[in-house]
Structure 1
Amino acid sequence: MCEPHTSAPEASADVFRDPDTGFTFSQYNAPITTGSTSIAMRIAIPSPAPSGTPYDAVIQVVAPISAGWVGVAWGGSMTNNPLLVGWANGASAVTSMRRATAHTAPTAYTGATLQVLKGGTKTNGTHWQFTAKCTGCTQFTTTGTTTKTLNPAGTNRLAFAYSKAKPSQPASESSPINVHDLFNYWEHDFASAGNAAFQDLVAKNA
């Protein structure tokens, strides 16, 4: 992954109410071609979510079937923040938490955990998607003792990476992944991502 040389797109104001899971997501459509092909990045958080302290977040990624893997950087860059990587595996999906301290292949990260929500994870003839709750993605140490907390009442810079090639061991969450084909970042609106019934919806979809 390389840092992009373009400016970040404007904050996303789209709201998506998912009929499958019941979550209300704030959504950003990340373009991956010069045409209309994009990857939907959706975030849901508890409402109210505490300011300045960690809180869980649910992420839903909807990608075209041609996408080998998709990654989301919670700190807006490749290095020194949690990296969530996901890919299709048959009718389901595999997710993996990783972290990189340099522009090299990220390794397993134990500072955050994922719970795949089966109610929002599926594959059809054109797209695959996963929905997962992340604990440890909204507050993390960047470098040294510096802690970053994502603002639940505003926008946060996130980044994505995408590859056309699938992981070499798609059934394994520790599978090596190849270098991405595209990388960029955006400002995501967390203020419209709140869900009063967050915990109940997690339990329902698990």
Structure 2
Amino acid sequence: MRWTFGLGSLAAVLGVASASSLANTVTVYNDPETGFTFSQYQATYSLSGKYITFRIAVPSDAQQNSQYDAVIQIVAPSEVGWLGLAWGGSMTYNPLTVSWANGGTAVVSSRYATGHVLPPTYSGATYEVFKTGTKSNGTHYQVTAKCSGCTSYAGSSGSQRYLNPKGGNRLAFAYATQKPSNPSSASSSFNVHDVFGYWTHDFSLAQNPSFSNLVTKNGGHTTSSVASKLRKKRIVAGEDGGLAGEE
């Protein structure tokens, strides 16, 4: 099966007239649990209006044309088979953050593709999954992780590319209903996506002057691909139906 990613609009995939009717603006989200300030985008993946929330936080002292760490937080309905975030806005030649829930664990898999095939695992981007901010309830799961290697990468020409820490960056997402073939393994294979889409994510809204301190405070462990236990606590749902906090 040929993989396609980044070749059309979400509206075309869903069969609706205009992508603007589905697109949500990028907003600021101040996370009371981890303390990070995120820029947030809610990516719609169904005609019923269901969406996956992607949040990104960056250090305020990050410089343009330089690599820097970023924190990603994903909130997804439990029905999602797997999801992916493309840091360069396409399937190929940029870091891919792929994630899925597996019972009491959240799996984060680092991938990178040079063609429209199943993306192999990628050692160029590593993830530190935080103990705080990684959890689940009956309807959604949430994972929060620091990525080292997601904001700089070698493009198709071999030249190094950098995400702008103070401006807009074109990102993309993919979603599938079917679970990976071996969901307990971060190196599992998985089928082609059902839906994909793009947006421009404003990193200027994601500035964190105490970025390093917050990373230390929230804790975690570093690996290229990781399965992290989800905390089973009573979750207080946010206004958007996602995970806002706990009691």
TM-score, normalization by structure 2: 0.79
Is the Cα–Cα contact under 8 Å of residues 24 and 42 in structure 2 kept in the other structure? no
Question: Is 2:117 the partner of 1:114?
Answer: no
Deviates more, 1:152-161 or 1:87-96: 87-96
1:173 corresponds in structure 2 to: 186
Q: Distance in 2 between matches of 1:12 and 1:197?
A: 26
What amino acid does structure 2 have at the position aligned with 1:87? W
Deviates more, 1:180-189 or 1:137-146: 137-146
Is the Cα–Cα contact under 8 Å of residues 11 and 155 in structure 1 kept in the other structure? no
1:6 corresponds in structure 2 to: 9
Q: Distance in 1 between matches of 2:104 and 2:82?
A: 15
DSSP 3-state at the match of 1:45: strand
Give 1:23-62 correspondences, 5 Å limit: 23-62=36-75
Q: 1:89 to 1:118 in 2, by over 3 A?
A: farther
Give 1:101-140 correspondences, 5 Å limit: 101-140=114-153
Q: Distance in 1 between matches of 2:174 and 2:136?
A: 20
Note the C-alpha offset of 1:11.
Answer: 8.2
Give 1:152-171 correspondences, 5 Å limit: 152-171=165-184
DSSP 3-state at the match of 1:199: helix
Is the Cα–Cα contact under 8 Å of residues 6 and 89 in structure 2 kept in the other structure? no
What amino acid does structure 2 have at the position aligned with 1:182? V
2:28 corresponds in structure 1 to: 15
1:148 corresponds in structure 2 to: 161
Q: Distance in 2 between matches of 1:11 and 1:32?
A: 12
Note the C-alpha offset of 1:72.
Answer: 0.4
DSSP 3-state at the match of 2:127: strand
Note the C-alpha offset of 1:168.
Answer: 1.9
Note the C-alpha offset of 1:25.
Answer: 0.4
What amino acid does structure 2 have at the position aligned with 1:20? E
Note the C-alpha offset of 1:48.
Answer: 2.0
Q: How many residues align?
A: 206
Is the Cα–Cα contact under 8 Å of residues 24 and 43 in structure 2 kept in the other structure? no
Q: Distance in 2 between matches of 1:14 and 1:168?
A: 35
TM-score, normalization by structure 1: 0.95
Which segments of 5 or more consecutive residues in structure 2 lack a partner in the other structure? 11-18, 220-247
Q: Distance in 2 between matches of 1:116 and 1:27?
A: 19
Is the Cα–Cα contact under 8 Å of residues 169 and 175 in structure 1 kept in the other structure? yes
Q: Distance in 1 between matches of 2:73 and 2:152?
A: 19
Is the Cα–Cα contact under 8 Å of residues 28 and 205 in structure 2 kept in the other structure? yes
Q: Distance in 2 between matches of 1:145 and 1:153?
A: 24
Note the C-alpha offset of 1:171.
Answer: 1.7
Rg comparison, structure with higher value: 2
Q: Distance in 2 between matches of 1:145 and 1:3?
A: 20
Q: Distance in 2 between matches of 1:22 and 1:92?
A: 23
Q: Distance in 1 between matches of 2:54 and 2:162?
A: 20
Identity of aligned residues (%): 54
How large is the RMSD of aligned CA atoms in angstroms? 1.6
DSSP 3-state at the match of 1:200: helix
Q: Distance in 2 between matches of 1:62 and 1:147?
A: 30
Which segments of 5 or more consecutive residues in structure 1 lack a partner in the other structure? none
Deviates more, 1:3-12 or 1:31-40: 3-12
What amino acid does structure 2 have at the position aligned with 1:76? G
Give 1:58-97 correspondences, 5 Å limit: 58-97=71-110
